[in-house]
Amino acid sequence: MRHFLTINDFSKDELLEMLSLAIAIKSQHARGIATPYLSGQTLAMVFEKSSTRTRVSFQVGIYQLGGFGIFLSNSDLQLGRGEIIRDSAAVISSMVDMIMVRTHMHERLEEFARHSSVSVINGLSDAFHPMQLLADYLTMIECGIFVSDAILDSTPYKSKFHQPIVAYIGDGNNMANSWLMLASKLGFELRLACPKNYMPKQEFLALAQDNAKKSGAKIILTDDIYAVSHGAHVITTDTWVSMGQENEKKQRMQDFKNYRVDSEIMANADKEAIFLHCLPAYRGLEVTEEVIDGTQSKIIEEAHNRLHAQKGVMVWLNRQNKKNII
């Protein structure tokens, strides 16, 4: 049984297979061609943490693939009333074909997957946000900022750069961790600028550095936003205060005040650089309005690509699990 809990669980070729599927399915949908690859299948969507993009993209995605999505919030589930995870996972997985879980703690997601008889997909945890990263990379591909012979061979897109450079500015959180996994698996240059007390955890840096030895990726970690943005092809950031960190807001506002993406940072990047943000964004804090609403911003395309990237993942997992059964 294959689950998708983190990008680190997959090889470069597997990740590119998912992205190629996403591109093909998106193209079919744009041309009005039906894509019932998961006809009659049911996706349970377990939300221990609220969401806009994750809920809409998964529910619409499974519908467009010919299946049906069930939204399950914490208030709907016995999980929210104290039922142990292994019981909920065993029962829910006995009735559906796939499960997406969005949770506060990655350990809960891992336990849920251990006791599930069907594939479990990470819709977000405190450690990783892998579906967002596949959508981000799909957006990079469509903008001509990527490195992959496999993608070049199977799609009409062409890369404008020999090696893409991604600059992440802000909190060393689940988004930073996921960028570390993607860059180190696919083999591109990732530069992270985080305040000294908000660097990614050493365990995730170590994973990325180990992957990079095989892929040729370059990982740079600093607190200098001008160094990371210089000549970069992608500038990306995240909110300074995520859900559950409200009690840290005052301190975080102070600690991150010099980590705002503004027109000066974008001017320091490559002239064809794009701006990405997983959303929701707080204009005037981590990014200025002129950047997020500017011509280099691809935030709407990026959010839309959650739909197609996740369809690629669901179809890929379904095919892999069928192979395992056979």
User: Is it true that 12-128+305-324 and 131-303 share their CATH fold?
Assistant: yes
What is the tens place of the pLDDT at every residue in 44-56?
A: 999 998 899 999 9
Let me know: does 96 contact 42? Beta carbons within 8 Å. yes
What is the tens place of the pLDDT at every residue in 85-115?
A: 999 999 999 999 999 999 999 999 999 999 9
User: Domain spans of the chain?
Assistant: 12-128+305-324, 131-303
Does the annotation mark 306 as catalytic?
yes
Tokens of 33: 């061609």
Domain 12-128+305-324, CATH class in plain words: alpha beta
In angstroms, the CA 163 to CA 189 distance is: 7
Query: Which pLDDT score is estimated for 326?
Result: 45
Does the annotation mark 194 as catalytic?
no
Tell which CATH architecture fits domain 131-303: 3-Layer(aba) Sandwich (3.40)
Query: Which pLDDT score is estimated for 50?
Result: 86
Q: What residues form the annotated binding site for L-ornithine?
A: 174, 238, 242-243
In angstroms, the CA 41 to CA 90 distance is: 18
Instruction: Evaluate if residue 147 carries a pLDDT over 80.
Output: no
Instruction: Evaluate if residue 325 carries a pLDDT over 60.
Output: no
Q: What residues form the annotated binding site?
A: 51-54, 78, 102, 129-132, 174, 238, 242-243, 278-279, 306
Query: Which pLDDT score is estimated for 96?
Result: 98
Query: Which pLDDT score is estimated for 157?
Result: 78
The pTM for the full model equals 0.95
Q: Residue 191: which H helix or E strand, with range? A: strand 189-193
pLDDT band (50, 70, 90) for residue 77: confident
